[in-house]
Amino acid sequence: MSSILQKISKSILIIGVLIVSVSATAEIFNSTNYSVRNPVMFVGDFSSSVNFKLSGIMGQPAIGTSTSATFGGQAGFLYFPFASSPVAAATAGNGQVSLDWSASSGVLGWSVSGYDVAEGTSSSGPFSYSDVGAVTSATRGSLSNGVTYYFVIVAKDAFGNRVASSSVISSTPVAPPPAGGGGGGGGGGGGGVIIGETKVIIKGEVYPQAEVTILKDGSSVGQIQADGGGNWIKTITVTGGVYTFAVYSVDKNGNRSISTSFTTSVPIGQTVTISDIVIPPTIIADKSEVRQGNPIKFFGSSYPSSEVNVVINSEQTITDKASVDALGLWIYELNSAVLEKGDHTTKGQTLTPANAASIFSNTLGFIVGDKDSPFNRSPVPGVCNKNGDINNDHMVNIVDFSILMYFWNQKNSKNKCSDVNADGTVNVFDFSIMLYWWTG
């Protein structure tokens, strides 16, 4: 009899445990004194089980930690949406300011659907915002002549969220000059209206000491060399009207950027300033074909201390960032094992410390295959490679080091390419650059 009661007791205990297990719930915290309105959720620890299945998660599962005989997993890179900053220009008028800006481009999930114009009387705000729709120009009226106004162009996505903004620009409305008086009796003609010069001031960011070429309606109107920090400014005299300007640059290795274009209206007798023209980075690779599994390097020139958004176009798009050093050099190394065999392309975009963005660079093609083939580029006559490739054979190795040592400590070396940073002396600074780009 006692054994029967023991069996019944064990059965009841097992049933009770099962009931508790089925109805059990988790509780993180509770309180009678406060409530949590906007918690921040974090991905939890890793777990494994042979009895349960995962039906839903909050967050992204870790790459390479899940296996299953029944289900498949897609592993890859995280994507980050981005919208480029509009480049704005302001033109003063009588009690008004005309604004023009370049279109903002959204990638990886963001699409720009319209713009707000922020207006204030101080560069630091406060600003009042006006929705102007999906346009690239607007006129702000009812302004006081002689007062400086500050403006910011803000790009919005399809849901009205503000995703990018221009730099702060300013303009001061002016009253028109008075008309000249009529001629006196028997005297000469009356005085004419004095009109100031009509100018366009263009300024922006590029690679240190780079030569910037400016085009107006397709014709060159001058060149300017950037300073050691990569900043440049150019003043152009025009006759008034609507003009399309384009700028491009060539870095010290002879690589040319693509052109950045913008259109603006220039009233007669006024000066229009266009700022934050960020010239896109140059981009080149150390290989035209890479053996699958081996590394491939992409590099070039960009604005100092900025970032380059690197995009690899493959079956799955890869996005990453590369840092730009104080000399304006950037390099990004990719393990080609993550790419399938075949043709691929890459491009880059500069993002300055002030969050001004360039357009994307030219697209560079490469192959993932069964061998490594160096990237062959015809040398530009009279141009030295500023990566330490003194003999221009597309390699930085012991041959270049030997040439550097031969001209060591010489000032104004007869071999100009041995002075890698072009400071007038072959010294340890040139050697440091060579080591950075060493290929062996």
Given CATH 2.60.40.10, say whether it is the number of domain 82-171: yes
Helix (H) or strand (E) holding 23: helix 2-23
Cis peptide before 86 (omega within 30 of 0): no
The tokens describing 228, both together, are 């050691």
118: left (phi over 0), alpha (psi -120 to 50) or beta: beta
Give span(s): CATH 2.60.40.10, the chain.
Answer: 82-171, 199-278, 282-374
- Note the pLDDT of residue 291: 94
Return d(Cα 212, Cα 236) in angstroms, integer. 14
Strands (E), 134-177: 137-140, 149-157, 162-165, 169-171
What architecture is domain 282-374?
A: Sandwich (2.60)
204-256: pLDDT as tens digits: 999 999 999 998 887 888 899 999 999 999 999 888 788 888 899 988 878 88
Return d(Cα 433, Cα 403) in angstroms, integer. 14
Angle at 179 between CA 173 and CA 184, to 5 degrees: 160
Question: What is the DSSP track for 296-332?
Answer: EEEEEE-STT-EEEEEEESSS-EEEEEEB-TTSEEEE
- Note the pLDDT of residue 70: 53
Note whether 259 and 248 are within 8 A (CB).
yes
Return d(Cα 248, Cα 207) in angstroms, integer. 11
pLDDT < 70 positions in the chain: 1-80, 108-109, 177-196, 376-383, 393-394, 440
The tokens describing 366, both together, are 């490469």
The tokens describing 184, both together, are 């006196």
Return d(Cα 436, Cα 421) in angstroms, integer. 13
Give span(s): CATH 1.10.1330.10, the chain.
Answer: 378-439
Overall fold of domain 378-439: Type 1 dockerin domain (1.10.1330)
- Note the pLDDT of residue 166: 87
- Note the pLDDT of residue 9: 52
Residue type, 75: A
Overall fold of domain 199-278: Immunoglobulin-like (2.60.40)
- Note the pLDDT of residue 311: 93
Q: What are phi and psi of 403, to 5 degrees?
A: -65, -45
- Note the pLDDT of residue 392: 72
Note whether 253 and 383 are within 8 A (CB).
yes
96-137: pLDDT as tens digits: 888 988 888 877 667 888 999 999 998 888 899 999 888 888
DSSP state of 20: H
Residue 61 buriedness (CB in 10 A; 0-12 / 13-18 / 19+): middle
Residue 438 buriedness (CB in 10 A; 0-12 / 13-18 / 19+): middle
- Note the pLDDT of residue 89: 86
